[in-house]
Amino acid sequence: MSFENRRVGTADRVGMAPGALLEDTHSVPAQIELIHYREHDSSAIDPASLQAMQTAIAAHDGVTWLHVQGLPSKAFLEEMGARFGLHPLLLEDIQSRDQRPKLDEYVEHLFAVFSVPRWQGDGAVLEQFSLLLGDGYVISIHDAQSDITDILRARLAQSSSRLRQHGADYLFYSLIDLIIDQIYPLLETFGGTVDELEERLVTNPGHRALPDIQSAKRTLNQLRRQLWPTREVISHLIRGVSNEPLLEAGLRPYLNDLYDHTVSVMDMLETYRDTVTGLIDIHLSSVSNRLNEIMRTLTVISTLFIPLTFVTGIYGMNFGNNADSPFAMPELRWYFGYPLILSVMVAVALGMILFFKRRGWIFSRDRF
Amino acid sequence: MSFENRRVGTADRVGMAPGALLEDTHSVPAQIELIHYREHDSSAIDPASLQAMQTAIAAHDGVTWLHVQGLPSKAFLEEMGARFGLHPLLLEDIQSRDQRPKLDEYVEHLFAVFSVPRWQGDGAVLEQFSLLLGDGYVISIHDAQSDITDILRARLAQSSSRLRQHGADYLFYSLIDLIIDQIYPLLETFGGTVDELEERLVTNPGHRALPDIQSAKRTLNQLRRQLWPTREVISHLIRGVSNEPLLEAGLRPYLNDLYDHTVSVMDMLETYRDTVTGLIDIHLSSVSNRLNEIMRTLTVISTLFIPLTFVTGIYGMNFGNNADSPFAMPELRWYFGYPLILSVMVAVALGMILFFKRRGWIFSRDRF
Amino acid sequence: MSFENRRVGTADRVGMAPGALLEDTHSVPAQIELIHYREHDSSAIDPASLQAMQTAIAAHDGVTWLHVQGLPSKAFLEEMGARFGLHPLLLEDIQSRDQRPKLDEYVEHLFAVFSVPRWQGDGAVLEQFSLLLGDGYVISIHDAQSDITDILRARLAQSSSRLRQHGADYLFYSLIDLIIDQIYPLLETFGGTVDELEERLVTNPGHRALPDIQSAKRTLNQLRRQLWPTREVISHLIRGVSNEPLLEAGLRPYLNDLYDHTVSVMDMLETYRDTVTGLIDIHLSSVSNRLNEIMRTLTVISTLFIPLTFVTGIYGMNFGNNADSPFAMPELRWYFGYPLILSVMVAVALGMILFFKRRGWIFSRDRF
Amino acid sequence: MSFENRRVGTADRVGMAPGALLEDTHSVPAQIELIHYREHDSSAIDPASLQAMQTAIAAHDGVTWLHVQGLPSKAFLEEMGARFGLHPLLLEDIQSRDQRPKLDEYVEHLFAVFSVPRWQGDGAVLEQFSLLLGDGYVISIHDAQSDITDILRARLAQSSSRLRQHGADYLFYSLIDLIIDQIYPLLETFGGTVDELEERLVTNPGHRALPDIQSAKRTLNQLRRQLWPTREVISHLIRGVSNEPLLEAGLRPYLNDLYDHTVSVMDMLETYRDTVTGLIDIHLSSVSNRLNEIMRTLTVISTLFIPLTFVTGIYGMNFGNNADSPFAMPELRWYFGYPLILSVMVAVALGMILFFKRRGWIFSRDRF
Amino acid sequence: MSFENRRVGTADRVGMAPGALLEDTHSVPAQIELIHYREHDSSAIDPASLQAMQTAIAAHDGVTWLHVQGLPSKAFLEEMGARFGLHPLLLEDIQSRDQRPKLDEYVEHLFAVFSVPRWQGDGAVLEQFSLLLGDGYVISIHDAQSDITDILRARLAQSSSRLRQHGADYLFYSLIDLIIDQIYPLLETFGGTVDELEERLVTNPGHRALPDIQSAKRTLNQLRRQLWPTREVISHLIRGVSNEPLLEAGLRPYLNDLYDHTVSVMDMLETYRDTVTGLIDIHLSSVSNRLNEIMRTLTVISTLFIPLTFVTGIYGMNFGNNADSPFAMPELRWYFGYPLILSVMVAVALGMILFFKRRGWIFSRDRF
């Protein structure tokens, strides 16, 4: 989710009258495609004029589909609003770029907004997809560079296509199906990122793992917050809309199928969430384990030498100077005194190493 | 949220009869503005007397808007209550300053209370905004110094304004829209604070971060607790009120839009909450990491010198005094004995440093 | 909440037939006050006989209020039950002392139980307040020493009182309002305790903080568990009761106001909960910080002296006895050897101190 | 809850046809008691034949109660099923021993299953109690050794008993009341266990506390999972059943009372849960505190001696052998050199002890 | 749950038109069995042709059951779709292999999808089981190698079987019952794994426990996410379907029984979840305990020798060379000086050991 966009997008409108449109600020003009199809033919119409579209719709014959790729200009929106009787707030929603998925019922048409998630850099970006279903026509506006609707135009070109045999509501459904299909490859990419992260945590625990985990968690939560309202929109369509003729009864199984898809996607997200939540535990345990290993080894080394140093300390004492007493460190005067003491120290060291090893304090491979 | 205010505000009333008004204690008198507008004109009325307002309303022509900036006096409230037939509890609510957002339906009017959040110092303060919608008039009372309604008066002055073309309910809606618009800049400020905090946690982990995180969390929770009832109020307006003529059917899309705004604000709050919750993990990890680095370095230093000290201990032993034995520390009597031992010690030290470095225990930059 | 009482109170009844009353075990007799009032007068009735009350009620003129301060005797309860046709379970509820707040609808009357929270020692105690609303009369039983209803009797004595102008349902409402008002001062005391605790955690982290935090958390949870059903009772009253004539329509705004109060109290509790939950983090961080400071300082001291001790170890070696070799520790024979070595050691020590200071390992004030 | 039983109990039936009964495997035969009572008399019937019971029921006079203590044999269940027209699945439920509390409505009777919790060893065991309410009769089957229904038979023997004045539904209610009453003493035992555990954590933190806390938590959760459906069963009875004549309207207050009991028990469980959840924090804090105390003391001892050892190291250096230089450790040749150095060391040690004490690092009693 | 499968399964379909079937990719052909039974006989039909089945169904006499073991070919699905009038999306669901459990109502039939959990290696795999109930026939498709329906065919072969006495809905129910029965042995295996893990955590805490705990947690969560929709499907069947004649009223108690089974399974899962959640605490505590034990022992050893080394340091000082002073380490010249100092050191060591032991710092067995 482009978090920055969302914040700025809505804040831009603060203080403006509701329903007023922003001036154009984007340099790239939107691509417009206009198709009219019936069961037996399908043809592109010159998109330069919306007049042609209005005429085609008025003929009550076949389906007209207007697709805008990119953000339409203020002038285009205003003309569209005037010709099709669209509410000013609807036009504002199209322009605002950061709407949550929702379904608004107007008297003459249905208006839905969805988010198309796309993987960019190392996070998900959400592009707004607005959908308007009227009597005999569909208007779709996808505020993004890459066009995902080519596949539908290809299907429309085939005479056997189920699209050509159904009305505008089936096109409306097909577009929503297309949007939800975009989530699967994204989730695969995301899954790969999470798997990589898990791998890295185990092999190289310390390296900036926490911010990466937090970022994965945030992406996950943002996707979830988009999917909940998406599911609500589809559930709303299944429960039925007030302007019933817009949606044919035969569409019901297809909408149920859409609903199953969103639920299955949310299941996958939940599974990822379990994994990501577990990653923090693995990370902390891994970091702590690594530190413990270091401290343990260092302390073992110290502990090994401190008793030995004590022994050298004993024979560093100056009692031996007292030549009058037989108890004054006689070891110093023994023939094999020095090698004996060295052997004692080696024996002590070996004993301690053995003791530590037995207890598994050194040379063990315990991890996690 | 001014937590202190809330506590004191309500506690002041303990033991008072319900509906009784408190005596005035504030020194700054409230600013009162009274506007009457129709589709074709808009004029300010002398706010000194509510009589003029009552007359304007009785004429059933255009909309009358009374705006009070600051806390009105007890006398003003009582006069207002008498003239417009307001329930004593409603007047008490206006005066109490710390109401949760709510909508009360009375037979003749709708009464709503909202909270306008404002950033003060390093926390959010909530100012009460009371709204009364009657037949042909709106009374708004904003208990704060700064006036946010100027922008509406400016729009009313424009003859093309949509405000002038609609009734009192549209003014009522516009005021709620204005209140919700105040949240965006506040959230941007809050977002900046959180980003700064995150930055600081990474660069300078130890400095009083926990209380700051707790305070951000508390502000967040307080905002959420204000937004939930705000959303409820708008949802209530959408579902419809018992005195239906007060709200025209054409207002529905605008109310839906308001609802979308509150939901989108709550989405932003949820995103902040993810971030702030993650901050505690980052902080704890960061503090623990810093300490570990210190302890590791110190222990490495100790561990480096303890074996060397052991070596010096050996040659500090007094076995060499025993001139009779060839085993009595002959090294002491070697020609190059001292430089040799020094070299041995340097070699041991270098070996240990190399070992520690290889294992990444020193000179590594692992963080988090 | 007197946790012990609750457990014992209910356990006492195990094995008894439902609706059977316990024998009297309390030594202090309950105080009984009986008042009859109309719009124009108000008079106390001799509480010795419930007969007088029954007569007053039968006259269908004004409101009769019986208030029992303390736990009534079994005999009194039985007489009351017989005269006013009360269900045995209702009498059992009055006697049981540890009921959750609830509202029971009987054919002829409404029976409500509330908990009056009182601060005792360093925790909240809950005293049961039973309320019975019949046609023209109210019976209230407060199982506690101190009387909170004096304020109502004072208001009844005033001829202008709104109480005197309304029926028994308004008295019923006023008593509930009184009970909920008791929560505010308690919450202020509690808030003070929490603030003190937070203060102490920062200045003197180690001293038995955890049990105090747990106890604050428990008190908070107990208050929440009392407030939820209190809110439910009021919400039930707002939704309406089956015996409608008992509650006049005009009472609705007052009940809404009560509801707002309970919600606002629950909001305050949520805010306290955020604080108390945060306290545990602050405590743990504070304790861990203090320990780290100690360990860091101690380790710095050790680390400072270990290399110095190594230097003394070198010159404690006995190579110097070998007079034949010029390499045999010539430093020992230098004229300024000893002061030089001392200076070297001071320089090493200063260098290390400087290094530690630069890195912020000593003399820094990082906390939390 | 006997977790093992539950698992095995249901797994035994895997692959069997639904409604088929298991062969008898238990050696102890069930105790059967059959009582017939009217308002004015009560008499035991020979339980050997269910024929007598059927006759008594057919007479439509008074209430017949069949109580089976222990698990009935397959033959008995089959006869019972045939005589009273019980569904095969109902018989399977009686036999299965590990049902969740539930209420099944059949056309001619109500069938309820409850769990009677009993404290065994150091955990709660749940015994199944099946209840069948028909027109004029109750069948109760308690799969346990000890009989809890004696108290009801004693009440039935009293001519003044409310039981004798009501129908079979009151007996049904009384049995449920009896079952819920069993929970109070159990909770008291459990509460005692938790208090003991808390006590032990503070005085002797290390000893196997965590498994005990986990076990308390598990018992708590198991009790909660039994109480939820118990509450649901009672709530279902209050909402009403399809075969209405089975439950008289006068039973409603008693069922409400039952409901209050279950809610109050769940409140107690929540309070215990707060305590037990807090125990883990106290335990971890306590263990960590104890370790810190040890490490602190040990490190203080080391830190005390390391500087002193450094001082002895200085005077262990061999510079004094250089008789030519006046700077060659003249202290060694001072008359009071040795006592002076000893005094210096004592002074350093005392200074450090004082410093440590001032900072509260030793001799302090900070805990938790 | 075969997490990989699920992801790939659905992703394979991205971009395909809804309701289009995938080409066959699996090499093993599916096993098909076709049975026709009435109350008095039961016979297998040649499954080669679906024509025979259609004829049998058209005769409206008895029940026809088609069971497909393995994934059916595209051709078979298409023939089946054409003959029984199945919706393209239904066929897609059968083929997709990774559906969540669900129930779809079509005009002429009910279509349900379940997951059969099977333990494979050390995790649960879910195999899709599709069930179609039509008027007089059931089609079941189990996408797995091993056949779980043998037991039903065996029951059908018995003339006394309840299966033969009921219609297709009872077969439909029996298949669901069979699927849910598969969960019990799986849960027992899982329970064994968890118990083993707990055992291992206590005896050998360090060995890769965390990933194993995470994996158990994930399996648990995946099972829960399958059981929730399974419960929903059964609850949906209980509430009733729009095509009522498909399910006889007599099936209700059996469906209720199924529902109880799923709830009891979810209870078991909750209990496992408590255990598994507790495992992390036990693991962390166990690891930390083990480390503490090591560090404590090592530090005790160091602390024991450091004061002793200090004593040797004292008598390593060279003050004794000063023969002129009686204060110059006279101990060195005592007759029993050396043994005395050794005894002092032994005494100090024993004293410290005693002190450590008294405080429980060594030789204690505190764990957890």
Q: What is the CATH number of the domain that holds E152?
A: 3.30.460.20
Question: What residue type is B174 in one-letter code?
Answer: S
Instruction: Determine which of E283, E317, E327 to mutate to test the interface with D (most D C-beta atoms within 10 Å).
Output: E317
Instruction: Please tell me the least confidently modeled range out of A46-55, A71-80, C82-91, E217-226.
Output: A46-55
| Residues within 8 A of C (CB atoms), D 9-68 only | none
pLDDT-derived band of residue C4, with 50, 70 and 90 as boundaries? very low
Q: For the segment B52-109, what is each residue's pLDDT rounded down to a tens digit?
A: 888 888 887 889 999 999 989 899 999 999 999 999 999 999 988 778 899 999 888 9
Residue where the block lists tokens 């201990």: B313
Query: pLDDT: is E38 or D17 the higher one?
Result: E38
Clarify whether residues B279 and B292 are in a common domain.
no
Whether chain E has a CB inside 8 Å of the CB on A341: the answer is no
pLDDT-derived band of residue C137, with 50, 70 and 90 as boundaries? very high
* Mean pLDDT rounded to a whole number for chain D: 85
A62 — alpha (psi -120 to 50), left (phi > 0) or beta?
Answer: left
Interface touch E271/D221, C-beta < 8 Å: yes
| Residues within 8 A of D (CB atoms), C 100-129 only | 100, 102, 104, 106
What pLDDT score was predicted for residue D3? 35
Clarify whether residues C193 and C341 are in a common domain.
no
Clarify whether residues C321 and C278 are in a common domain.
no
Instruction: Please tell me the least confidently modeled range out of A39-48, A167-176, C100-109.
Output: A39-48
What pLDDT score was predicted for residue A364? 67
Whether chain C has a CB inside 8 Å of the CB on B214: the answer is yes
Q: In this structure, what token pair is assigned to residue C339?
A: 């002061």
Average pLDDT over residues A243-248: 87
Q: In this structure, what token pair is assigned to residue A328?
A: 């004054």
CB pairs under 8 A between B and C: 165
Listed residues D285, D304, D332: the one ending a domain = D285
Listed residues B231, B265, B285: the one ending a domain = B285
Q: Which residues contact E10 (CB under 8 A, 6 or more apart)?
A: A184, A261, A264, E96, E98
Average pLDDT over residues B250-261: 91
Residues of E in contact with A327 (CB under 8 A): 335-339
Average pLDDT over residues C273-285: 83
For residue A367, being part of any structural domain is answered with: no
What pLDDT score was predicted for residue A10? 55
Nearest CA-CA partner of C70 in C119, C26, C31, C27? C31
pLDDT of residue B3 exceeding 50, the answer is no
pLDDT-derived band of residue C1, with 50, 70 and 90 as boundaries? very low
Residue where the block lists tokens 């982290």: C205
Q: For the segment D299-333, what is each residue's pLDDT rounded down to a tens digit?
A: 888 889 999 999 999 888 888 877 788 888 888 88
* Burial tier of A126 (Cβ tally within 10 Å: 0-12, 13-18, 19+): buried
Beta-bridge partner residues of C198: none
Which residue in E18, E315, E335 is closest to A325 by CB distance? E335
For residue E135, being part of any structural domain is answered with: yes
Query: What is the secondary structure of C91-102 as a DSSP string?
Result: HHHHHHS-PPSE
Whether chain A has a CB inside 8 Å of the CB on B298: the answer is no
Q: For the segment C141-185, what is each residue's pLDDT rounded down to a tens digit?
A: 998 888 899 999 988 988 888 888 899 999 999 999 999 999 888
Question: What residue type is C41 in one-letter code?
Answer: D
What pLDDT score was predicted for residue B205? 65
Q: Which residues contact C270 (CB under 8 A, 6 or more apart)?
A: B221, B225
For residue C168, being part of any structural domain is answered with: yes
Nearest CA-CA partner of B368 in B275, B281, B277? B281
Distance separating alpha carbons of residues C235 and C258, to the nearest angstrom: 9
For residue E120, being part of any structural domain is answered with: yes
Distance separating alpha carbons of residues C38 and C64, to the nearest angstrom: 9
Clarify whether residues A133 and A280 are in a common domain.
yes
Listed residues E163, E192, E207: the one ending a domain = E163
For residue A30, being part of any structural domain is answered with: yes
Q: Which residues contact C282 (CB under 8 A, 6 or more apart)?
A: B210, B211, B214, C198, C201, C202, C368
Clarify whether residues A262 and A296 are in a common domain.
no
Nearest CA-CA partner of E214 in A123, A202, A210? A202
Distance from CA of D111 to the nearest CA of E (A): 12
Clarify whether residues D268 and D328 are in a common domain.
no
Interface touch E184/D14, C-beta < 8 Å: yes
What pairing do the DSSP bridges indicate for beta strands E63-69 and E137-142? parallel
Clarify whether residues D230 and D335 are in a common domain.
no
Domain count, chain C: 2
Q: For the segment B167-225, what is each residue's pLDDT rounded down to a tens digit?
A: 999 999 999 999 999 988 888 888 888 888 888 887 776 656 777 888 888 888 888 88
Clarify whether residues A326 and A193 are in a common domain.
no
Q: In this structure, what token pair is assigned to residue E125?
A: 């795999």
Contact D80, D51 (CB under 8 A): no
Q: What percent of chain E has pLDDT over 90?
A: 29
* H or E segment to which residue A142 belongs: strand A137-142
pLDDT-derived band of residue C212, with 50, 70 and 90 as boundaries? confident
Distance from CA of E229 to the nearest CA of A (A): 10
Interface touch D15/E181, C-beta < 8 Å: yes
Distance separating alpha carbons of residues D112 and D132, to the nearest angstrom: 6
Clarify whether residues B293 and B268 are in a common domain.
no
Distance separating alpha carbons of residues B174 and B153, to the nearest angstrom: 11
Distance separating alpha carbons of residues E277 and E271, to the nearest angstrom: 10
Nearest CA-CA partner of A210 in B201, C278, B207? B201
Q: For the segment B107-157, what is each residue's pLDDT rounded down to a tens digit?
A: 889 999 999 988 887 777 889 999 999 999 999 999 888 889 998 998 898
pTM value is: 0.81
Distance separating alpha carbons of residues D133 and D108, to the nearest angstrom: 9
Give the torsion through C-alpha atoms of B93, B94, B96, B101, to 10 deg.
Answer: 70
* Mean pLDDT rounded to a whole number for chain B: 85
What pLDDT score was predicted for residue C7? 35
Residues of B in contact with C314 (CB under 8 A): 312, 342
Distance separating alpha carbons of residues C216 and C239, to the nearest angstrom: 34
pLDDT of residue D103 exceeding 90, the answer is yes
Q: What percent of chain C has pLDDT over 70?
A: 93
Distance separating alpha carbons of residues C13 and C6, to the nearest angstrom: 12
For residue E218, being part of any structural domain is answered with: no
C-alpha separations of C251 from A59, B85, B87, C115, C157 in Å: 61, 17, 12, 22, 22
Contact D111, D93 (CB under 8 A): yes
First to last CA, chain B: 34
Nearest CA-CA partner of D168 in D34, D38, D33? D38
Residues of C in contact with B294 (CB under 8 A): 296, 299, 359, 361
Residues of A in contact with E93 (CB under 8 A): 257
Domain of E8, in residue numbers = 1-163
Contact E135, E107 (CB under 8 A): no
Chains touching A, CB cut-off 8 Å, 3+ pairs: B, E
Distance from CA of B274 to the nearest CA of A (A): 7
| Residues within 8 A of E (CB atoms), D 253-292 only | 280, 284, 287, 291
Clarify whether residues A197 and A56 are in a common domain.
yes
Whether chain E has a CB inside 8 Å of the CB on A150: the answer is no
Q: Which residues contact D215 (CB under 8 A, 6 or more apart)?
A: D122, D123
* Burial tier of E213 (Cβ tally within 10 Å: 0-12, 13-18, 19+): buried
Interface touch D102/E329, C-beta < 8 Å: no
Strands lying side by side in the sheet with A63-69 = A42-45, A31-37, A63-69, A137-142, A123-134, A110-120, A102-105
pLDDT of residue A69 exceeding 70, the answer is yes
Instruction: Determine which of C273, C282, C312 to mutate to test the interface with D (most D C-beta atoms within 10 Å).
Output: C312
For residue C24, being part of any structural domain is answered with: yes
Whether chain E has a CB inside 8 Å of the CB on D337: the answer is yes
For residue B366, being part of any structural domain is answered with: no
Q: For the segment E63-76, what is each residue's pLDDT rounded down to a tens digit?
A: 999 999 998 989 99
Clarify whether residues B260 and B293 are in a common domain.
no
Distance separating alpha carbons of residues B243 and D320, to the nearest angstrom: 107
Average pLDDT over residues D267-288: 83
Distance separating alpha carbons of residues B334 and E180, to the nearest angstrom: 87
Distance separating alpha carbons of residues B287 and B205, to the nearest angstrom: 6
Clarify whether residues A280 and A315 are in a common domain.
no
ipTM, two decimals, is 0.76
* H or E segment to which residue D228 belongs: helix D209-239
pLDDT of residue E363 exceeding 80, the answer is no
Q: For the segment C69-114, what is each residue's pLDDT rounded down to a tens digit?
A: 998 989 999 999 999 999 999 999 998 877 889 999 988 899 999 9
**Overall residue count recorded for chain D in this entry:** 368
